Structure 1
Amino acid sequence: MSKELKDRKSISDKYKWNLDHIYKNDSEFEKDLKKVLQKIAEIDKYKADFCADGENLYNALNEIIKIEEKTSRLYSYAHMKYDQNTQNEKYQNYKNKAMTAYNKLNNSTSFMVPAIIELGEEKLAEYINQTEELSFYDHFFDDIMRQKEHYLSAEEEKILALAGEVTQSSENIFSMLNNADLEFPIIEEEDGEEIRLTHGRYIDLLKNEKRRVRKAAFNGMHGEYEKLDNTFAAVLDSTVKGDIFYARARKYNNSLEASLDDDNISVEVYDNLINSISDNLAPLHEYMELKKEMLDLDELHIYDTYTPLIKEIDLKFEYEECKEIIKNALAPLGEDYVSVVEQAFNSGWIDVYENKGKRSGAYSSGCYGVHPFILMNYTQDISNLFTLIHEMGHALHSYYTNKNQPYIYSKYKIFVAEVASTLNENLLVDYMLNNAESKEEKLYLLNYFLEGFRGTVYRQTMFAEFEKMIHQQVEKGEGLTSQSMQKKYNKLNRKYFGKQLVMDKKLDYEWARIPHFYYNFYVYKYATGYSAATALAENIKNEGRKAADRYLDFLKAGGSDYPLNILKNAGVNMEKPLVIENAVDKFSRYLAKLRDLI
C-alpha cells in the first residue's frame, strides 16, 4: 500500500520555495491588489493625450508598464500559493482576483497599439528626436510598426477581442470531450489485475513488457476516439476555421503566416524544419528497425515503439546527490552560471517534494524583480533528475534576462523558450555518459536521449506537417472530415516511421486526441527549440568558453530583439537547414553508439 502524502507543514522549509520573497505576507498582496486595481481604473486618463507629444507618450508608457509589472507580481504570488495546495479556497480566490486584474488591464490598454500605429512612423521618429528617453522603446515600437498592416482600428480590434469567446470555444469543447466525457475501457494488466485505462496511465501501459497489455491500451484508447471521430473532426474543423478567420481579418496571406508573425518568424523557417526532417528520416527508420530487432518482434506496431530497448536499471538519486550531478553537468557554462544554480538550490527557489493538494507536474515561474521559482514533485528516479535540470534551464533563462533587461524586454518569446531547458538536458546526457559506471547505464542513457529526440523532433515535426496540411485544406474551401484526416495521418505515419511499422487502422484516429492541434501552429517550436539547443550544446562542447559566453548572452537578451536574431548572435541560424541536419547527425551518432554497445 502506498504511503499517505505528507501535509505541507511536515515538510522541511529547506525543501520549500519561499514566496515571501514576492510578498512578505498575504496582507501585502491584498494591499497591492487594491492599489493595482485603482491604478488600472485610472488608465483612461492617459487615453486622450496618449500621443499628444513625445513626453506624454513616454510618461504614459512608463506608468502603464509599471502597472503591468505589479499585476504580473500579483498573479505570480497568487498562482504559486494556490499550487502549493489546490484545495485551499483562499488562494484559489487570490488567483481568480489576480487574473481578473490582468483582464481589466488588457481591456484598459487596448487603445495603445492602434494609437501608436495611427501616429505613424514619421511622427514617432519626430517624437523620439524631441524626447530622447523615448528611444528606450525602439524595439517595442518596431515590433508594432512591422505589423501595422495587420492591426485594425480600435473599434475593429474590440470586435475581434469579443469574437475570441466564440473562436476559443472549440478548444474548450475538445477539452471537455477529451478530459470529462470520454471514458476508456478497463483492460487487464500483465498480472491479471483489471485497471481502468486513463490518459495518465496510457504511456506507462505502452511501455509494458507484455505486448498483450500494450495492444489493449492502444486499441482501448483509440477505439473511443473512433466512436466519436466525426465529432472530433467537426471540433478541429471549427478551430482551424477560427485561425483562418483571424488571419484573413488581419490581412495575412494564410493562417501559418499569421501565426508565425507574432515571433517575426518567416514561413521558410517552418518549411525548412519539415523539409530538413523529411530529407533525414533514414536514422529514424534505422531506429525502428533496431527496436524490432532488439525486442525480438515478428512485426513492429506503433504500440511497440514506446517499449524501452533497455530494461529499467536501478538509477535512483537522492535529492542532495541530484544537486551535485546537475552542478557538475552544467560546469561547461561557467562559474557564474553554476553559482546561480547553487543559489537556486539553497535560497528558497525550489519547491521539491509532493504534498497533499499540491499541483502535479513541474514548471518554472516567477515575476520581474524577484528570482525565479521551480515547482517539482521530486522522486528519486532518473526522469526527475532530467526534469529538474530542464526546469533549471528555464529558471536561469529568466534569471539572466531579468537581471539584464528592463521589464518590457524581460519576456522571451515561446520560439526560444525551450532552448535553455533542453540544452541543459543535452549537457546532462553527455556528462552522465562520460561518467557511467556500467554498460547497462550507458545503454539506458543513450536510449533515453534517442527516445527524447524521437518524441520532440521527429514526432513534433510530423504534427507540424499535419497541422499545415489541414489548414491548407480548409483555406482551399474544403471542410475537414474524419475520412480526409485519417488519410493524411496514415500517409504521414508511413512516411515518418518507414516500412518497419505495421499501420494499424486505429492509428489513423490518433489526430483526434492531440490537444496541440488547437494551439495554432505551436508544435513546431518544440522541434526547432530542441534542434537549436542541440547545436548550442555541441558548440559549447567543441569551442568551450567562447561558445558558452555567446550562450550566456543569448540568455541575457530576453525579448530585446527578435528570436531569430538572438539565436544568430548565439551561433545558430534557424533559417538554414544545417541546424536541423546537425541535430539529426547527433541522433545518428548516438544510435551508432547504442548499436556498438549491444
Structure 2
Amino acid sequence: MLKRSEVKIEETWDLTPLFETELLFEEAVESVLGKAGEIEKEFKGKIVNAQDAVNVIAAYQSLYEALVPIGTYASLSLSEDQTNDEAQMRSAKVGQHYSKIGAQLSFITSELLLLDEAVLTEAKDLAPQFERYIDNLIRKKPYQLHPEAEKALAAFGTTFDAPYELYNTTKLVDLKFDNFEVNGESYPLSYNSFEGDWELESDTEIRRAAFESFSKKLRDYQHTTAKTYDTHLKIEKTDADLRGYDTIFDALLFDQEVDRELYNRQIDLITTELAPHMRRYAKLLQKEHGLEKMTFADLKISLDPTYEPKISIEESRQYMNDGLSIMGEDYQNMLDRSFDERWIDFAQNEGKSTGAFCSSPYGKHPYILISWTSRMNEVFVLAHELGHAGHFYLTHKEQNIFNSRPSLYFIEAPSTMNEMLMANHLLSNSNDARFKRWVISTIVARTYYHNFVTHLLEAAYQRKVYEIIDDGGSVNASILNKLKREVLEDFWGDTVEITEGAELTWMRQPHYYMGLYPYTYSAGLTIATQVSQRILNEGEPAVQDWLKVLKAGGTKSPVELAKIAGVDITTDQPLKDTIAYIGSLIDQLEVLSEEIASENV
C-alpha cells in the first residue's frame, strides 16, 4: 500500500479551494473565534423582541458559513490519511475550537426559546428566509434544558465525539493486517483492499482465505471496539433521558422528522419479504460458481466475473456523462467540473478512510472520497457519490445554509437514484444477454445488496442494540457478535452458511456512530426506485419534478419531498413495489442465466 506522498497527484482531490495555505486556514480559525466573541458580547442577554431574534440569527448564519470550510478542511485532510500526525492534531484542534464556540453561543437557542411563540412568529414574518430555522427551534422547545446545562453540554462537544474518533483511529491507524497465503503465494491485505477487491475476488480459495485472515485480525480488536461503541451508546442514551424523550429511538428520529412507524416498517418489511428473493440470488451465485456450499464470504462475488471489464478513471467519466445526461445541462456541467477541478480523491493509500463518501460544504463545491480499484462496479459507487454531490450542488445554489440539508431519512435518495439512472442507461443500450445479465446482477449485487441488504441488516442489528441500551443495559463484544449473527441467520436461513467471522461485521461500519443512519439507505432507495421508474416511463416531466426536489433541500419534510417526486411514503406500497421489483430482477437473472447456459452447450 502506497503512502499518501507516493500517489499520483491527479488521482487526489484538491483542497486548495477550501484554503490555499495553512496560514489562511489559521487566520480563518482566529477570525471565527473572534466573531463568536463579538456575537456573544452583542446579543447575550439582549434578545427581547422579533428584530433582535432576526439579528442574532443573521449573525449566527454568517459565522456558521465561515465555520463550514474550516471543519471540512480538517476532516478531509484527516480522511485522506489518518496516519498523518499534522492532520490528526489539526482535526483535534478544530474540534476543541468548535466545542468552545458551541458553548459560547448556546445562549442563542436558549434565549430564542424563552421568547413567546408570537414573537418568534413575528420574526418569521420579518425574515421569511429563517422560517424553517425558527420552526425547528420551536419543535425542540419541549426538549430544551436550562441555558447553563445547554452550555455545559456544548462545551463537552469534542469529548462526546471521542468514541467515533477512537473507532477510526483503531480501524485505520492501529489495525494492521498481515499478508495471507494461498497455495504458497502471498497476498497483501488492508481494509481497503479487502472491501474493494478480495471480498469480490472470483477465486474461491483466495476470497475465503482473505475473509478468514481479515476476520482474525478484526477479532484481536473486538473488545476495544465494543467498549468504544458502548460508550457512544451511553452518551446518546444519557442525552435522550436528560432531554425527556420517551425512548432513545424518539430522540434519534426527532431530527429526521420521521416517526417510529416509518422506521420499523422499513426494517420489518424488508427483513421478511426481501429475504426469499435474496436467498434465490444466493443460490444462483452458488450454482453459477459451482460452489459446494454458499458461505457469507461468497455473497459479494460477481455473477459473471469473467465478463466484468476493468475500467479506468477517465473511462468512468464518460459513463457518468452518458448515464446521467438525462439530468440536464447544469447537472452535466457539475459532472465535468468534478473531474476537471479534482473534486474526487481516487487514490489508494495507507491510512485512507474506507468506503466512499461525499462531503458538501456550503459555499464550496462538493468533495468525494473513493478508493478506485478499476472494477466496473466502481462506476455505480461513483455515480452514487456524485448523486450526493449533485444534490447539494443544486440545493446550495437555491437555499440558505439553514435550509440546505434535508432529513437524514431522505439523504440517500439522490445518491441511489443515480445508480438506478446508470442502470437504466446501460440496459437501454444493449440487447446482448450476457451484458444485460451483468448490468442486472450489478444492480442487485451493488445497488440493492449494498443498500437493501448490507445496510438494512445493520439497521435490524442496530435496533436490537438500542433496545438493550434503552432498557438500561450495556453491550460488549460477545453480545454484539451474538446479535449480529442472529440477524444474519434469520435473513439468510439455511441458504447461506454464516461462517465464523461474519458476526464481526458490526466492527466494520462507521454508520453506527451516526445515529439511526443505516436504515435510511433502503428508505432512500425505495424513493429512488419509484422515481427512476417514473423517469423511465414518463421522461422529462418526472426529471423536472426530481430536480425540484433536489433544489428544495431541507425546506420540506421527507414525506413532502417524496410527494413532490410522485411517491407516497406514508403507505407501505412504495416499499412493497420496490421489493417486488428486486424480485423481478432476480427472475430476469435466472432466465438469462438459463439462456446463456443453453447457448454454451
TM-score norm. by structure 2 comes to 0.86
Partner of 1:296: 290
Change (3 A) 1:463 1:43: same
> Which residue of 2 is the match for residue 119 of structure 1?
115
Q: Secondary structure at the match of 1:194?
A: strand
Alignment partner, residue 193 of structure 2: 201
Aligned to 1:262: 255
Q: In the alignment, is residue 222 of structure 1 matched against residue 183 of structure 2?
A: no
Range that drifts further, 247-256 or 383-392: 383-392
**Aligned partner of 2:192: which letter?**
G
Task: Give 1:60's aligned amino acid.
Answer: V
Aligned equivalent of 1:418: 412
Partner residue, 1:587: 582
The letter of the residue matching 1:256 is: F
* Cα pair 2:409 2:558 within 8 Å, conserved: yes
TM-aligned CA deviation for residue 62 of structure 1? 0.9
Where structure 2 has 5 or more consecutive residues not aligned to the other structure, the ranges are 594-601
For residues 595 and 407 of structure 1, the distance between their equivalents in structure 2, rounded to whole angstroms, comes to 48
Q: Aligned residue for 1:51?
A: 47
Aligned partners of 2:2 and 2:350 also within 8 Å: no
Cα deviations by residue, 1:76-103 (Å, 9 ceiling, x for unpaired): 4666678789999888887676655544
Cα RMSD after superposing both structures: 3.6
Between stretches 74-83 and 269-278, larger displacement belongs to 74-83
By how many angstroms is 1:431 displaced?
A: 1.0
1:323 equivalent in alignment to 2:322: no
Separation (CA, whole Å) in 2 of partners of 1:320 and 1:516: 30
Decide which of 224, 235, 238 is 1:242's aligned counterpart: 235
Q: 1:383 aligns with which of 370, 373, 377?
A: 377
Match among 269, 282, 285 for residue 276 of structure 2:
282
Work out which of the residue numbers 108, 122, 135 in structure 2 matches 1:142. Answer: 135
Deviation, structure 1 residue 327: 2.2
Q: Does the 8 Å contact 1:446/1:590 carry over to 2? A: yes
Q: Residues 397 and 175 of structure 1: is their aligned pair in 2 closer, same or farther, counting only changes over 3 Å? A: closer
CA distance in 1, matches of 2:497, 2:467: 28
1:144-543 equivalence runs, <5 A: 144-162=137-155, 168-179=161-172, 186-189=179-182, 192-195=184-187, 197-203=189-195, 204-224=197-217, 233-280=226-273, 281-313=275-307, 315-346=309-340, 348=341, 350-351=343-344, 354=347, 363-374=357-368, 380-436=374-430, 438-452=432-446, 453-480=448-475, 482-543=477-538
How far the C-alpha of 1:273 sits from its partner, in A, is 0.3
| Closer/same/farther in 2, CA of residues 59 and 486 from structure 1, 3 Å limit | closer
Q: Which moved more, 1:489-498 or 1:99-108?
A: 99-108
Q: TM (normalized to structure 1)? A: 0.86
Q: CA deviation at 1:287?
A: 1.0
AA at the equivalent of 2:452:
V
**Cα deviation code 1:552-590 (max 9, x no counterpart):** 011101122333322222223333222222222222222
Cα distance change, pair 331–113 in 1 and its aligned pair in 2 (3 A): same
Correspondence for 1:560: 555
Identity of aligned residues (%): 24
Matched residue of 1:414: which SS?
coil
| Partner AA of 1:264 in structure 2 | E
CA distance in structure 1 between the partners assigned to 2:320 and 2:503 by the alignment: 41
- Match of residue 546 from structure 1: 541
Q: Displacement of 1:399 after TM fit?
A: 1.6
CA-CA distance at 1:292 after TM superposition:
2.0
C-alpha contact (below 8 Å) 1:567/1:573 kept by paired residues: yes
Question: 1:99-138, CA deviations, whole angstroms, 9 ceiling, x for partnerless residues?
Answer: 555444323221111111121313323555xxx4233322
Structure 1 residue ranges without an equivalent (≥5): none
- Offset, 1:459: 2.3
Secondary structure, counterpart of 1:559 in structure 2: coil
Are the equivalent residues in 1 in contact too, given 2:102–2:155 (CA < 8 A)? no
In the TM superposition, residue 376 of structure 1 has moved relative to its aligned partner by: 5.8
One-letter amino acid of the structure 1 residue matched with residue 54 of structure 2: Y
Give 3-state SS (helix, strand or coil) of 1:52's partner.
coil
Change in Cα spacing, 1:339 to 1:405, as seen in structure 2 (3 Å) is same
Quick check: 2:2–2:349 contact (8 Å CA) kept in 1? Answer: no
Q: Bigger CA drift: 536-545 or 172-181?
A: 172-181
Partner deviation per Cα, 1:441-496 (whole Å, 9 max, x = no partner):
32222221111211221222221111111221233344435554444333322221
Q: Secondary structure at the match of 1:40?
A: helix
Distance 1:503 1:16 in 2: 38
| Matches of 2:438 and 2:338, distance apart in 1 | 29
Deviation at 1:63, TM superposition (A): 1.7
- What is the alpha-carbon distance in structure 2 between the residues aligned to residue 4 and residue 301 of structure 1? 35
For the residues of structure 2 that align with 1:548 and 1:567, how far apart are their CA atoms? 13
Q: Secondary structure at the match of 1:415?
A: coil
2:565 corresponds to which letter in structure 1? A
Q: Distance in 2 between matches of 1:404 and 1:161?
A: 30
Q: Is the 8 A contact 1:349 1:374 kept in 2?
A: no
Are the counterparts in 2 of residues 332 and 541 from structure 1 also a CA contact under 8 Å?
A: no
User: Deviation at 1:533?
Assistant: 1.7
CA distance in 1, matches of 2:592, 2:14: 46
Q: Is the CA contact 2:44–2:107 (under 8 Å) kept in the aligned structure 1? A: no
Alignment partners' CA distance in 2, 1:409 and 1:44: 24
Seen in structure 2, the aligned counterparts of structure 1 residues 294 and 554 have a Cα distance that, compared at 3 Å, is: same
Q: Structure 2 vs 1, CA of residues 70 and 510 (structure 1 numbering), >3 Å: closer, same or farther?
A: closer
Taking the aligned partners of 2:415 and 2:504, their CA distance within structure 1 comes to 32
CA change 1:178–1:247 in 2 (3 A) is same
Q: CA deviation at 1:350?
A: 3.3
Determine helix, strand or coil for the equivalent of 2:180: strand
Q: Distance in 1 between matches of 2:566 and 2:35?
A: 43
Report the counterpart of residue 572 of structure 1 in structure 2: 567
| Paired positions, count | 589
